[in-house]
Amino acid sequence: MESDIEILSEADASMQKLRIFGIDDREDENGRRRIKDVEVYVPIVCGSIAFYLGKKATEYRTHKWTVYVRGATNEDLGVVIKRVIFHLHPSFKNPTRVVDSPPFALSECGWGEFKIDITVILHTDVCEKKLELSHVLKLNPENAYGPIPKSIKIPVVAESYNEIVFPDPFESFLARVHNHPAVHISNLPDGFNLPPPGVADTYHLMEKGDTKDHPLSQWFLKFSEVEELFKLTAARKKVQAHIAKLKRQLIMVDGQPEGLQPSSGYEC
């Protein structure tokens, strides 16, 4: 099964919605049914935290850093993500690092900043397309006025918020994740009956792991307000679309001949 991925950039480059489109058919070749007009979205954060080693630093080991993909509210992403592959700079030994279970994080030491390409592999009942992300590792602290002194106590944190959106999800995926705190569902019809939840390929074998008690969690940025902003933006667009529809209907009514105008319901 093939899918397309469209990245919808928001006003801030650090906030994106990664929209994954499935095939148009209601069923795929395996007979899995899609639920029309429902969206599943998963808020995620790509980031890194780097500590300066101070007096312990050497020429090629100035910082200890960790790069990760986590839930925006530190929930366990293993319910959606099967594996994360971090592609480091080729100067590292074994630069392609695979993390098979949450938390999806990798730690290393180094001296330079570089772009880390990140391949996210989803469970097969979610999507069979790989999701390609990237993150720039930041080691040196700075603010709006330029570089600032390094500290061994306060790390350099670089994070970006994204939402992975799955329109028309598979029914089996929806049944499995609809009560999971890392997953949000919109437009689910009232009274819709889901089948018993299944198990996504190797999810039942994975080590479950949120990042609420992660050793670096005190440094994680808070994205709850950003998530609310996305919800408000989506609601505003829905209201605007409804207003536009009503305006079109009024224009059609106003353009009809007088004899075809809708009756007022009473006669003078």
Alpha-carbon gap, residue 5 to 42, rounded angstroms: 15
* 7 within 8 A of 16, measured Cβ to Cβ: yes
pLDDT, residue 1, reads 35
Q: pLDDT at residue 229 above 80?
A: no
Q: Model confidence at 135, in pLDDT bands (50, 70, 90)?
A: very high
* 95 within 8 A of 115, measured Cβ to Cβ: no
| Residue 187, SS3 per DSSP | coil
pLDDT, residue 77, reads 93
3-state percent breakdown (helix, strand, coil) of the chain, nearest 5: 20, 35, 45
Q: Model confidence at 144, in pLDDT bands (50, 70, 90)?
A: low
| Residue 171, SS3 per DSSP | helix
| Residue 243, SS3 per DSSP | helix
In order, the DSSP letters of 91-128 are TSSS-EEEE-SSSEEEEEEES---EEEEEEEEPTTT-S
SS (H, E, C) 40-57: EEEEEEEEEEEEECHHHC
Residue 23 or 52, more confident: 52
Please write down the long-range contacts of 93-98, taking CB distance under 8 Å and 24 or more positions apart.
Answer: none
User: Among 84-93, 180-189, 235-244, whose mean pLDDT is lowest?
Assistant: 235-244
* 124 within 8 A of 85, measured Cβ to Cβ: no
Angle (CA) 84 177 221, round 5° = 55
Strands 156-167 and 15-21: parallel
Q: Model confidence at 36, in pLDDT bands (50, 70, 90)?
A: confident
C-alpha separations of 170 from 125, 164, 205 in Å: 7, 15, 22
Q: pLDDT at residue 5 above 80?
A: no
Alpha-carbon gap, residue 76 to 86, rounded angstroms: 19
